[in-house]
Structure 1
Amino acid sequence: MYEKQPKDSWAIRFAQFVERFGTIKLSFLFVFGSLVFTIGGSYIIRISLDSNIEPDDFISAIILTMLSAPWVLYFFSELVKHLEHSRNDLQDLVEQMEKLREEDVFLNRELQHNIRQLNHEIEQRKAAQLERESVFVELEKEIKEKSEQEIQARRISTLLRSIIDASPDLIYYRNEEGRFAGCNRVAEQLTGKTQEELLGLTPHDVYEEDLAKQVVASDHEVLESNASITEELWLRFADGRRRYFEMRKVPFFDNDGNRLGLLAFGRDMTERKQAESAAAKASNDKTRFIATISHELRTPLNGIVGLSRMLRDTELTKEQFNWVSTIYASAITLGNIFNDIIDLDRLDRDKLELSLKTVSLNEFTDELASIIRLLAADKGLEFNWTINEPLPTLVEVDGTRLRQVLWNILFNAVKFTPRGQVSLSVSATKPENGVSLVKFVVEDSGVGIPQDELDKIFAMYYQVDHPDHQTATGTGIGLAICKQMVDLMKGQISVQSQVGKGSRFEIQLPVAISTQPVQLESLQVDNLDILLVEDIELNVMVAKALLEKLGQRVDVAMTGQEAIDKVRSHTYDLILLDIQLPDMNGFEVAKTLHEEDLVIQTPIVALTANVIKKREEYLQNGMDDIIAKPIKKSRVIEVFNELFTQTPASPAVEQQELVPAAKDLGNVLDLELLQMLVDTIGEDMVRTSVKVFQEKMPEYMEILQLSLSADEKSEVCSQAHKIKGAAGSVGLARVQRIANQIQQGDHPAWWQNVHDWVEELQMAVQKDMTMLTDWLSEQTVED
């Protein structure tokens, strides 16, 4: 840094002046100056004193000056010398000081630099220290956080493990090599191994071979597609229990997207599966119930229709004829209503099918109109029907379904028409490519339907809510079934209506022109030797009267066993076989007859009120045709002509009646075996065996039910075989027979009957165990 130099003193400057000017010159100058000063001073003083100026005054002054000047000059010279020396010394000192000052400045600068450097280093060290302290704080904080995170992670891991273990679902995961890498408690219970024992094992090490192959296949599918899949399978627990699981398998990856393996979740759906089986069974039960109701209702209906029809053919007064006609029409009405119920069940099971046959439209319309006319007459209504020619002579159509559709609409027209008339007209377009469009129009002058209700009347269970309709009630299924039947026949149904003025229904159906001749109305065969197998007296009376009126000879069997015995001892031209018999069903009778080759040349026709089953089901069970109850004369003629037009009738042979075998305790228990066991091993041992059987049966039945729900035929048969053996060892003959049926998986109708057999088995076990216990008690009393 630059520093301002201090100014020299006057003495130094004077000495410097003397040295520059010269001592001699300055001495003369000084002497001269001193003389001038002295002379001038003397003069001024004399003047100021008003004295006279004398030359002596100047001479004395000059002499005084000359005397004093050298001394003064000497003094000043010495002074100047000393001053010069002092100045030189001072100069040297100053120079030394300057050097020292420069050195000091340099040192100071160096010191300042060092201080600044030191300060900088101190600051850096402070910053570094602060940074280290901050790092230590952050590190300590991070360590603390990591410690807390580890604690939290362990807590979460423990909680997650607890949650996973508490889950009722099956959870496990396997690595890329297909080896177990972890699981929950359900998986441990399933496999009978702990998680540590499972680690590193493959499905082949854990499951049965067939199941392992299925599991590995689905694993490969997940890993190959990198997509989740869902599968359902039965798994067997280590304790032998079988459960039905819905498995969801998904691939899982790390944060970098690398696949680690697959994760599987399995939900126990056994209850759902059993519910589905129960629902299916309920549906079958409902079908069976409707079939039973069909049989029970059609049995008296068969009598009403048959006898009223037969009465109409006798000599009656006009009033009696009208009464009988009303009974006949009412029975037909009841039959059609019941057909709606049957078809409703078929619609639920998607089993409603068409059976196309050759039909004469003119005769079809006349037959339908004749019955509706009776209903209309009962209400005092006028009924008109019109056939607009030309109509195709014969068409291919399901006459039963078409009759049911038109019946529903005509019956509603009569029901909702308090006064006036109902009409039916039939017309058809000119055939094109063998197909004609037939149109049926039903009109009435009834209460009508509000416009905002027209689009709803074909909905299931819907009924028009209108004051004028309250007098006529119904189920709301007739028109809905009509709509579905018309759709099934690829036709269209529409309605127009005006409240208070009536309704107009129009049905258009495309029908094929028939190239087959219509079935002959007259019976082409008589004097047939027929075995009628029927257990209801009323049905026997109606059917026997109808057949004999048609010129046939009729023999009657009231049970299945009686029918078999009659066929064994006599050859019949035809067997009319009811399906529901007191000792066995008609299918079992037919099976026995076919197995013994007793009906090689004899047709078997099912005579049944069960319209639930398809025609094919009857044919597959040994029948040649079916006649539905109530028996119609036209259907009998149709079937007989089809079966015997080319077949001559056989001569009659005398019949023999046999008494059916009675049921007793021997059908339920193997009394011979039980008595032998009591005599051989003792009653106490028999009771012990029965007790063991009784304790084991719930487990056996549960496994049987689960296997049946899983559709595992082999497992069902295997379990039934086990039950059969156990039942046989304690003399439960009926249980053994039923279990034997279940174990025969090669039975052609096994799946159709196995649910019924299992249910029958369950009931038999409960009842027969009671009978067995009672029998053992009786043995104790006798002893």
Structure 2
Amino acid sequence: MTNKKTKKTSVDPWAIRIAQLINRFGAVKTSVLFVILTLIFTFSGTYFLRMFLSDQAHTEDFLIAIVLTLLSAPWVLWVFSELVKQLERSRESLADAVTELERLRKEDELLNHTLQNNIKQLNHEIEQRKNAQLERESVFSDLEREITDRAEKEQQALRLSTLLRSIIDASPDLIYYRNQEGQFAGCNRVAEEMTGKTEQELIGLTPHQVYDEELARQVVASDQDVLENNTSITEELWLRFADGRRRFYEMRKVPFYSADDTRLGILAFGRDITERKQAENVVAKASKDKTAFIATISHELRTPLNGIVGLSRMLRDTDLTSEQFAWVSTIYASGITLGNIFNDIIDLDRLDRDRLELSLKTVSIKDFTQELSSIIELLADDKDLTFAAHVEEPLPALVEVDGTRLRQILWNLLFNAVKFTQRGTVSLEVKAEKVDAETSMVTFKVCDTGVGIPQQDLDKIFAMYYQVDSPEHQSATGTGIGLAICQQMVSLMNGKISVSSVIGEGTCFTVDLPLGISKKPIQVETLKVTGLQILLVEDIELNVMVAKALLEKLGQHVDVAMTGNEAINMARNKQYDLVLLDIQLPDMNGFEVANVLHEESLVEQTSIVALTANVIKTRQEYLDNGMDEVISKPVKKSRIIEVFNSLFCEQPSVPHQPAPEPKIDPLNTVLDLDLLQMLVDTIGHEMVRTSVKVFQEKMPEYLEILQLSLSADEKDEVCSQAHKIKGAASSVGLYRVQKIANEIQQGDHPAWWQNVHDWVEQLHQAANQDMQKLINWLGQQDIDD
């Protein structure tokens, strides 16, 4: 501040500086000094002026000067004093003005600084407002774009919704959905046609308000199943349209959810399969008719064939000349050939119905090869062909194999080899290669020097009904099914069949089968029991003659009944050890005869063996109908020995642990454990498992027919099917399934219609649950053994 003041003073006017000096020195002192200085100036001026003018100074001049000075000095001093005062006031005013100006300057600086800050703040706010404006513009732009996109999406969603709705309405399938409470929430036009209500009328209604009570119960039950298990189901049911039409629908029900996985209800799709079901029924009926036709043909053809094979076999055992023996052997071989050709037809039907089964037995490969070779050798001799059989060592002594199926495979191959060879050799080679301690890969190779097969036909030779179109093959015709059946049987045995051939040089078929090495002794084919009292029930005299002669030759006593009633009367009057019962009799079938014998307790100590030419049925079906065993026609001596030994010869006892104390088993409410244990002890685990497997395969079909019959309100068919299920369940010890089926079959029950749907549902659940428990029980028995 001092520097600023000094600088300011240096530039002040001189009068102000004099005024400041006088003010600082004092006015009186300054006045006295001024008077003195004025007197001195006056004396000096008077003296020099006088001296200049007259060169002489006078006293009066000095007195005049003093008087004039004294007269003028006060005025001058007054003027000067006033001037000084004015100047001082001016100075003070100027100082005040400067001070004020300084204050104003400082205020101005402060205001300027404040203004600068305000400007900066304002610029900052302006910048922020610009940024905010830009952000708002960006937000508005994004919002506008989002609104545009949303509008486009809404339009697209609307178009898709309209398209989807059009598709749903145009769909020939029945579509509807219901909420968690079971109320209709939407449907398509087919559902509207079916119910006779519009979608708006349906919304909010339950199945009980739309369908008849029986259908509503079935629909609600399946809905509940979907909701409880949170899974989709497929069911088939009859639906009645508003116009009275009844259509068969396959319904698919699935739970459906919102975007946040909240379950909203049930979505159902139904496809009209009435025509398909009718077609399936037609096919099933055709298959049934075909099976019945084959069964009839089987009986009619095997009856004379039984006589041809049986009598020719018996005739070969008599004293004949070599020429007569050759003739009889040819007849015998021809009969065997016809039987095997017919087996192809039977197996073809079984393959169509997936009923071809394997029955593993202990077999000696050497003996098997020798037996087969002896028959083929007869055929080869008729054509002057050389037949050679060679078994290459080492070879497993015994293997587990279905001898009947293996014989059928090799018979087809060997028979074809003989048929298509005009001269030369037919050979059978057998060798084995050990795979592990329990399995051996056995190879059968059938070769011939016949016409051969063209290369282009090798890939087609195993096709059903395929026959080589070649002049060389015209001389020997066939059905074209033998090789196809061979391939399927080999596949069933987990094996492989292949062929190689050169035109004019011959053909070789190779069959590779993985066979289990048997540690069981082979069943001795020697009859161990004689003197049995046998009742032979057969209506064909030729069959009676053959069977009676064979049985008596084996040391048995035979009585003959030609009808079912005659057999029942003879069983009432005499106790027999065995009843050989033909299934097709003139007055009743063999199953009805067996049923009467069991009901009257005429066969408590007697075995019943079915004697039948109908090889369509499985062995289990005969066992389920009261038979203890079954023998197919034409009757083979080896089969009779096998059955007689198994029925009447005690098996070696097997040591076992003492039976535990009886205890209550919860399985008793589900399974008939006493029956199952008896079956296991009697026929063995393997046979019980086979029976269970057959039941497991057939049960879905039984249940489907039962459900269809119930949907169609066919009470008699429902009861009949339930009776069938009851019988099948009882044969495998499914006690609860048998009990429920028994309730369903009682159609005369007063509340049958009110309860049958619940019973059928219980039957479905019990069949699935109890079957698994039965399988587990059988597995545990294996472990315990």
Please tell me the TM-score bracket, short chain as reference: 0.5 to 0.7
- With over 3 angstroms needed to count, the CA separation of the structure-2 counterparts of 1:169 and 1:396, relative to structure 1, is closer
| SS in structure 2 at match of 1:442 | strand
Q: Distance in 2 between matches of 1:353 and 1:743?
A: 26
Query: Which of the numbers 367, 388, 391 marks the counterpart of 1:387?
Result: 391
Task: Deviation per CA, 1:541-596: give whole Å up to 9, x if none.
Answer: 11111111212111112222222222122110100011122232222222222222
Match of 1:720 in 2: 716
Aligned to 2:707: 711
Report the CA distance shift for 1:463/1:175 in structure 2 as closer, same or farther (over 3 A): same
Please give the alpha-carbon distance, in whole angstroms, between the structure 2 residues aligned to 1:482 and 1:743.
38
Unaligned runs of 5+ in 1: 1-152, 648-706, 722-738, 759-783
1:689 is aligned to none
* Amino acid across the alignment from 1:273: K
Does 1:398 find its partner at 2:394? no
Note if contact 2:539-2:562 (Cα within 8 Å) is conserved in structure 1: yes
Q: 1:504 to 1:588 in 2, by over 3 A?
A: same
Correspondence for 1:531: 535
Return closer, same or farther for 1:389/1:266 CA change in 2, 3 Å cut-off: closer
Instruction: Identify the residue that residue 147 of structure 1 maps to in structure 2.
Output: none
Question: Alignment partner of 1:341: what SS?
Answer: helix
CA contact (8 A) 1:358 1:395 kept: yes
**Alignment correspondent of 2:563:** 559
The aligned amino acid for 2:220 is K
Q: Distance in 2 between matches of 1:611 and 1:190?
A: 48
1:433 lines up with 2:437 in the alignment: yes
SS in 2 for 1:587: helix
SS of equivalent to 1:340:
helix
Is 1:309 aligned to 2:313, yes or no? Answer: yes
User: 2: distance between equivalents of 1:229 and 1:551?
Assistant: 62
Matched, 1:575 2:575: no
Q: 1: CA distance between counterparts of 2:723 and 2:263?
A: 49
2-structure distance, mates of 1:359, 1:464? 35
**What's the C-alpha RMSD, in Å, of the aligned pairs?**
4.0
Task: Give, as a single letter, the amino acid of the residue that structure 1 aligns with 2:449.
Answer: S
Which residue pairs with 2:131 in the alignment? none
Which residue of 213, 236, 250 corresponds with 2:220? Answer: 213
CA offset at residue 423 of structure 1?
A: 1.4
Structure 1 residues 345-404: Cα deviation after superposition (integer angstroms, max 9, x where no partner): 222222222111122222211211111111111112111222334433332221111111
1:486 aligned onto 2:465? no
Residues 239 and 750 (structure 1 numbering): CA distance in 2 closer, same or farther, change over 3 Å?
farther
- Determine whether 1:359 maps to 2:363: yes
> What's the CA shift string for 1:173-226, capped at 9, x where partnerless?
65686533566776456446566653431223223342241464488599x89x
Moved more, 272-281 or 430-439: 430-439
1:475 Cα deviation from its structure 2 partner: 1.8
The answer to whether the 8 A contact 2:706-2:721 is kept is no
Give per-residue Cα distances to partners, 1:232-262, cap 9 Å, x unaligned. 433345688653213466899999x999987
Residue 754 of structure 2: aligned partner: none
Matched residue of 1:468: which SS? helix
Using structure 1 for the length normalisation, give the TM-score.
0.59
Q: Which residue of 2 aligns with 1:346?
A: 350
| Partner-residue secondary structure (3-state), 2:430 | strand
Q: Does 1:459 align with 2:463?
A: yes
The correspondence for 1:448, drawn from 452, 467, 473, is 452
Among the aligned pairs, what percent are the same residue?
68
Contact 1:459–1:480 (CA under 8 A) maintained in structure 2: yes
Q: Distance in 1 between matches of 2:566 and 2:711?
A: 37
**Contact in 2 for aligned 1:561/1:583 (Cα 8 Å):** yes
Q: Please list, as runs of the form range in 1=range in 2, the aligned pairs for 1:49-68 lying within 5 A after superposition.
A: none
Name the counterpart of 2:52: none
Q: 1:614 to 1:641 in 2, by over 3 A?
A: same
Contact 2:624 2:728 in 1 (8 A): no
Number of residue-to-residue matches in the alignment: 520
Distance apart, 1:617 and its partner CA: 2.0
Cα distance in 1 for residues equivalent to 2:442 and 2:265: 66
Residue 119 of structure 2 corresponds to none
Q: Contact 2:226–2:254 at 8 Å: present in 1 too? A: no
Once residues 280 and 718 of structure 1 are traced to their aligned partners in structure 2, the CA distance between those partners, rounded to angstroms, is 18
Moved more, 474-483 or 712-721: 712-721
Task: State the partner residue of 1:324.
Answer: 328
User: In 1, Cα distance between the equivalents of 2:724 and 2:242?
Assistant: 27
1:549 to 529, 548, 553: 553
Report the alpha carbon displacement of residue 511 of structure 1 after superposing the two structures with TM.
Answer: 2.5
Match of 2:598 among 561, 586, 594: 594
Aligned to 1:642: 646
Q: Is the CA contact 2:709–2:715 (under 8 Å) kept in the aligned structure 1?
A: no
State the alpha-carbon separation in 1 of the partners of residues 436 and 725 from structure 2.
50
Runs of 4+ residues deviating >6 angstroms: 238-241, 249-255, 257-263, 715-718
* 1:374 counterpart residue number: 378
User: Contact 1:717–1:744 (CA<8 Å) still a contact in 2?
Assistant: no
Secondary structure of the structure 2 residue equivalent to 1:519: coil
Q: CA deviation at 1:424?
A: 1.6
Which secondary structure does the structure 2 equivalent of 1:610 belong to?
coil
Deviates more, 1:506-515 or 1:440-449: 506-515
Secondary structure, counterpart of 2:313 in structure 1: helix
Q: Which residue identity is paired with 2:727?
A: P
Please, which of 710, 727, 736 is the counterpart of residue 748 of structure 1?
Answer: 727
Which amino acid letter does the alignment assign opposite residue 558 of structure 1?
Answer: M
CA distance in 2, matches of 1:479, 1:254: 58
SS for the counterpart of 2:727 is coil
Asked if 1 retains the 8 angstrom alpha-carbon contact of 2:176 and 2:191, the reply is: yes
Change (3 A) 1:745 1:492: closer
Deviations, residues 275-318 of structure 1 (Å, cap 9, x unaligned): 22332333233223222222221111101100111111222233
Instruction: Give TM-score, length-normalised by structure 2.
Output: 0.59
In structure 1, give the amino acid aligned to 2:416.
Answer: N
Q: SS state of the match for residue 748, structure 1?
A: helix
- Tell me which residue corresponds to 1:410: 414
SS of alignment partner, residue 499 of structure 2: strand
Cα distance between partner residues in 2 of 1:160 and 1:747: 49
- Give me the whole-angstrom Cα distance separating, in 2, the residues matched to 1:307 and 1:620: 32
Over 3 Å counting, the alpha-carbon distance change for 1:258 and 1:612 in structure 2 is closer
Query: Which one is further off, 422-431 or 503-512?
Result: 422-431
Matches within 5 A, 1:9-48: none
Give the AA of the match of 1:618.
Y
Task: Describe the shift of the 1:432–1:174 C-alpha distance in structure 2 as closer, same or farther (beyond 3 A).
Answer: closer
2:624 and 2:727 in contact (8 A); partners too? no
In structure 2, relative to structure 1, the CA distance for the partners of 1:367 and 1:186 (3 Å cut) is same
SS in 2 for 1:456: coil
Equivalent AA in structure 2 for residue 475 of structure 1: T
Q: CA deviation at 1:751?
A: 13
The Cα of 1:517 is off from its aligned counterpart by 2.7
Q: d(CA) in 2 for partners of 1:365 and 1:252?
A: 64
CA spacing shift, 1:532–1:231, aligned 2, 3 Å: closer
| Aligned residue runs from structure 1 range 242-261, under 5 A | 242-247=246-251
Partner Cα separation in structure 1 for residue 730 and residue 287 of structure 2: 15
* Worse overlay, 406-415 or 289-298: 289-298
Q: 1:421 aligns to what? A: 425
**Partner secondary structure for residue 451 of structure 2:** coil
Of 476, 481, 500, 1:477 maps to 481
Residue pair 1:244, 1:710 contacting (<8 A) in 2 also: no
Instruction: Describe the shift of the 1:241–1:600 C-alpha distance in structure 2 as closer, same or farther (beyond 3 A).
Output: farther
- For 2:400 and 2:198, how far apart are their aligned partners in 1? 70
SS at 2:528's partner residue? coil
| CA distance, structure 1, for counterparts of residue 420 and residue 585 of structure 2 | 42
Q: 1:632 aligns with which of 614, 632, 636?
A: 636
Distance across 2 between alignment mates of 1:604 and 1:568: 15
